[in-house]
Each structure stands twice: as structure tokens, then as C-alpha cells.
Amino acid sequence: MTEPADVDEESGRAALGRTLRYLREKARRSLGQLAEETRYDKSYLYRLEVSQRLSKLEVMQDLDRYYESGELLQGLWKVARREVFKDKYKEFMRLENRARVMWMFQLAIPGLFQTEEYAREVLSAAQASNSNLDVAEEQVAARMSRQEILHRDPVPHVRLILDEVALRRPTAHTKSWRSQLDHLIEVCHLPDVVLQVLPFSAGVHGLMDSHLTVLWEPDGSSVAYVEGNGISELVDEADKVTSYRLSYDRVRDLALSPAESLAFIRGIVEELPS
């Protein structure tokens, strides 16, 4: 029987796969029996065990219940899913996960506010070939898991300024695009989320070529994360963070009010073909 994984010596994905196999063998189940009893496809379960797939958190929750393993698999999955992201993004994810206040300016709908269908279409389009679709699925699962941030305790206070360009670039499927816009409308009603739209009529501004996120940590410190033109940078120097905060303030002054922004998004939904 394979021994349980040692997380310190293996990658997160390898540790998860080997632990899945260990639990199955300990339960004296073949892959076929496990597939029959959990109703997951046998080949899918095999790919999880050999670390070819990451799956979704819900699958790990189901298997934890099946094996009566507490939250063991869920914990390993959360470690493994960080590997889906680039190394330079990991520190930002760590800070984002514990931030108390988040300010975002985005030229596209950010991952925290995406539906699964929209995320899948965007991430699949970014793959060079259909052979990489499994990678896209893993990225979708990881992106959806990040949205737990909006429902944790304590809930972070989030302000999103969304450039109109994000709302004028629909997906190929009207149904998924409508669902995404409807989801944004729902997000507008979350008590700790403020969403504003920066319309084209606002003209030029200082953040036209980049996404910006400013995070405030529990100790009161702040960092800025900037993405644009194929580069990303995590900034913690106080004077630079202050400069980005001022840029954000100027953009916020140009944006529609939250009520006007909600009406703006509803107007775009009404323009969609039925």
C-alpha cells in the first residue's frame, strides 16, 4: 500500500494525488468500485490520483465525506491549487486572502466576480490549443475557489471600479454573457462590496493600460499589485503605494456612482438579444 503523502517533500498536487490513492487502497477499493460508489468517472479518478487533474473543491469535499477523512483532502487541494498560478502571483494571493480592505480597478471582469461559465470561456480562449483545455479547467477551479474570499469571516470590504471596456466585450455565447452581467448585478447588492463603472465618457486617465489592486492587511499596512502589458508587480514601498492610491482616487472621482453603475449594467443587459 502506498504511504500517505509528505507535503513537505512533494509538490502540493503530487501530495494530493498520492493521498487519494492511499485512502482508496486503505479502504480496499479499486478505481472501478470507487467510481461506482461515488459516481465519478473511473478515468477522472485515475487522473486525480496520478496528479494529471486538480478538479474542484467540491470533489474533494465529496471524497472527504466518502473516506471519513475530515478535511484532509480539502486542505491538500488548497495547497495544490496555488501551484496553478504563477510564482509571482502567489504572494499576492496570500495577501489577498487575509486583506481587510481591497480596492480594485479593472479593465476586464476580475476573477473574484466571474461566473464559472465566463471564466471557462476566457481561460480556454487563452490556451494555445485544445490539448491544453485540462489546464484551463484547473485554472477555472482555482479561480472559483478564490471567491470564498467574499464570504469569509471577517468579510473584506471590497471596492471595484470596472472600466466600461470590460462591459463592452461579450463572450461568444450570449447566455453565458447575460449570466455574467446578472452576476455583477447580484454582486452590487453584497453589503461589503461597492461596484462602480468608469464610462468611456470619462476620457483618458492614469490607469488606462493596467489593472490595479490595493490591499490593506490586518496590521494596517498596504500593498499595491499592478498588472499590464504582460508584466505584474507587487509593490510595498510606502511612497509608491501612496502614488497608486492617488491614481485610484482620481479614477474613482471620474466613475459613476454605485447607483448609476448598477443602472448602467442593467441597461447593457437590456440591450442583449433575447
Predicted confidence (pLDDT) per residue in 103-131, tens digit: 999 999 999 999 999 999 888 876 655 55
The whole-number pLDDT of residue 27 equals 95
Question: Cell for 196?
Answer: 462602480
CATH architecture classification, 12-82? Orthogonal Bundle (1.10)
- Residue pair 104/212 in contact (Cβ under 8 Å)? The answer is yes
Query: Would you state the pLDDT for residue 85?
Result: 55
Within the chain, what is the greatest distance between any pair of CA atoms? 66
With a pLDDT cut of 90, the percent of the chain lying above it is 62
Nearest to 184 by CA among 108, 121, 262, 258: 262
Pair 177, 234: CB distance under 8 Å: no
Of 75-79, 135-139, 148-152, 233-237, the range with the lowest mean pLDDT is: 135-139
Confidence of residue 209 (pLDDT cuts 50, 70, 90): confident
Cα(133)–Cα(97) distance, rounded to whole angstroms? 27
Q: Which of 112, 187, 101 is nearest to 146 (CA)?
A: 112
Q: Which three cell numbers stand for residue 35?
A: 467510481
Has residue 38 got a pLDDT over 50? yes
Of residues 124, 104, 233, 116, the one with CA closest to residue 166: 104
Mean pLDDT of the chain: 88
What's the pLDDT at 5? 47
Could you tell me the pLDDT band of residue 6, with boundaries at 50, 70 and 90? very low
Task: Report domain 86-271's class.
Answer: alpha beta
- CATH 3.30.870 in the chain: give the residue spans: 86-271
Lowest-pLDDT choice from 97-106, 111-120, 127-136, 214-223:
127-136
What pLDDT is recorded for position 130? 59
Report the pLDDT value the prediction gives residue 193, as an integer from 0 to 100.
96
Are 195 and 188 in contact by the 8 Å Cβ rule? The answer is yes
pLDDT at 34: 95
Q: Give CATH 1.10.260 domain extents, the chain.
A: 12-82
Mean pLDDT, to the nearest integer, of 63-68?
A: 95
The model's pTM is 0.69
Q: Which three three-digit cell numbers place residue 40? A: 465519478
Would you state the cell numbers that stand for residue 95, as one nine-digit string?
A: 495577501
Owner of C-alpha cell 477555472: 140
Phi/psi of residue 157, each to 5°? Answer: -90, 120
